[in-house]
Amino acid sequence: MFPHSLIRMLSIFIVFGILKLSPSRTEYFWILFSFAMPHFILALVYSQKYIKTAFQHTQNYPAAIAFLSLGALSIYYRYPALSFYFPLHHVLSETYSAHNSIRGNLKKPLNLNLFVSSRFFLNLFAYCILLMRNNPYDYLNTFPLIIYVVGFFISCYIFFSILFRMRLNLKKTMQMDHVVFELTMIFFVVASLFFRFNIHVNDIIFYHIVTWVFLPIKGMKKSGFGSVRKFLFWYVVLILLTLSFTPLAKTAWGLSPQMLGDQFILLTYIHIITSFALSRTNPRWLIRMF
């Protein structure tokens, strides 16, 4: 009934279930790693149309070359760190996957720039608060917690105020679809100010990956369920193949944890930087650049 919210809620339950069934955080990471590889590979496979389009827009070559050159330097020097890149990638994904679903369901065109911006900062501040209160990273201590909390509630106020003014322009089911998860997020953010949930950045990474198992399916269904079956088949095959290289499988061809960890970091950098060029869950100015 509320497809976007249901995908996000379902993804949380799946990640929580895998975490609880894993003997330790180490085994949990190898399962995450096995889900990440098909996420990286299939993202490129299903972006072929956008790759071709990018090469056809010759007028954008200078900006694109400059952007990708900076990306290549980031990969080589591993700077800025993934702790900077991933939140940006994740929050853009959360913001624009929701925005794309609402844009096509408006009864009349509206300027949604402020609405989108408020959702972006709502997600960004929630990310910072949840990690800062549970498994803090040094970069999060750049600002005191109160800055993140105030920013979060200002973003919430703007987001829900605009959504309320848009209520006559949206079906009730669509309104609920853009409220359910955000209300749940507010609950967890507020609760995290008083209790520790032991949320790790890997949990948010895993949640991000699982949501992208489900999000493409809506578009694929337009081409028939054969496209969905093909996508899910290759996803499962790649999960099992990747899993066979991890210490969990104990196969003769398994790779060392150090090598797998290095590959995970490298491929995450490549995936995030290429997603800025190829993903449709980005600001329009960035999409137009490619």
pLDDT of 54 reads 67
pLDDT in tens, 90-123: 999 888 887 776 766 666 666 778 888 999 999 9
- Mean pLDDT, rounded, of the chain: 85
Dihedral through CA 49, CA 51, CA 57, CA 63, nearest 10? Answer: 150
Q: How much is the pTM?
A: 0.90
Burial, 13: exposed, middle or buried (Cβ in 10 Å; 0-12, 13-18, 19+)? exposed
pLDDT over 90 percentage in the chain = 37
Segment 131-183, tens digit of pLDDT: 887 665 666 777 888 999 999 999 999 999 988 888 777 777 777 888 888 88
Q: What is the per-residue pLDDT for 104? A: 64
The three-state (H, E, C) secondary structure of the chain, written as one string: CCHHHHHHHHHHHHHHHHHHHCCCHHHHHHHHHHHHHHHHHHHHHCCHHHHHHHHHCHHHHHHHHHHHHHHHHHHHHCCCCHHHHHHHHHHHHHHHHHHHHHHCCCCCCCCCHHHHHHHHHHHHHHHHHHHHHHCCCHHHHHCCHHHHHHHHHHHHHHHHHHHHHCHHHCCHHHHHHCCHHHHHHHHHHHHHCCCCCCCCHHHHHHHHHHHHHHHHHHHHHHHCHHHHHHHHHHHHHHHHHHHCCCCCCCCCCCCCHHHHHHHHHHHHHHHHHHHHHHCCCCCHHHHHHC
Q: Residues 67-83: pLDDT tens digits?
A: 778 888 888 777 777 87
37 falls in which pLDDT band (50, 70, 90)? very high
* Least confident span in 180-189, 214-223, 281-290: 281-290
The listed range with the strongest mean pLDDT (38-52, 58-72, 197-211) is 197-211
Question: What letter represents residue 71's amino acid?
Answer: G
Q: What span, in angstroms and rounded, lies between the C-alpha atoms of 148 and 124? A: 9
